[in-house]
């Protein structure tokens, strides 16, 4: 096993354990956790069997295994970016609604001053 494979293996084991801890402490949903665990396991397979990317790349008509990995990572980053933007929009909408409700509630509670 090459030194880079050992480092990759150690790093992936750390993030797999971290993901399991996040799931158990409910910092992420079980569905999200399973998705991340699947990604980590796929990366673990690539680290342990690096030639597999070349074989898959050839099946897909891509010249090199490294190119396949780059394409997949770019795709994954775009999906995560889309998810985060959608989530931020949802949080902004919820925050605006909550602030309006609090403001209306506070107006109803305050007695009006007569001029």
The answer to whether 9 touches 47, Cβ cutoff 8 Å, is yes
Work out the widest C-alpha separation in the chain, in whole angstroms.
84
Where does the pLDDT of residue 114 fall: very low under 50, low under 70, confident under 90, or very high at 90 and above? low
pLDDT of residue 57: 94
Provide the pLDDT for residue 106.
87
Check residue 45 and give its pLDDT. Answer: 94
Structure tokens at 86: 């959608």
pTM here is 0.70
7 φ/ψ angles, rounded to the nearest 5 degrees: -65, -45
Residue extents of the structural domains in the chain: 1-49, 64-110
> Where does the pLDDT of residue 86 fall: very low under 50, low under 70, confident under 90, or very high at 90 and above?
very high
76 token code pair: 């994954």
The pLDDT of residue 109? 81
């Amino acid at each position: 096993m090459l030194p880079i494979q050992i480092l990759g293996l150690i790093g992936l084991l750390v993030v797999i354990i971290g993901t399991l801890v996040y799931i158990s402490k409910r910092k992420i949903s079980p569905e999200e956790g399973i998705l991340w665990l699947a990604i980590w396991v796929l990366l673990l397979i690539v680290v342990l069997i690096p030639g597999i990317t070349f074989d898959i790349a050839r099946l897909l008509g891509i010249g090199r295994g490294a190119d396949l990995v780059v394409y997949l990572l770019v795709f994954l980053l775009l999906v995560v970016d889309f998810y985060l933007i959608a989530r931020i929009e949802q949080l902004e909408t919820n925050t605006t609604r909550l602030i309006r409700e609090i403001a209306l509630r506070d107006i109803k509670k305050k007695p009006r001053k007569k001029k």
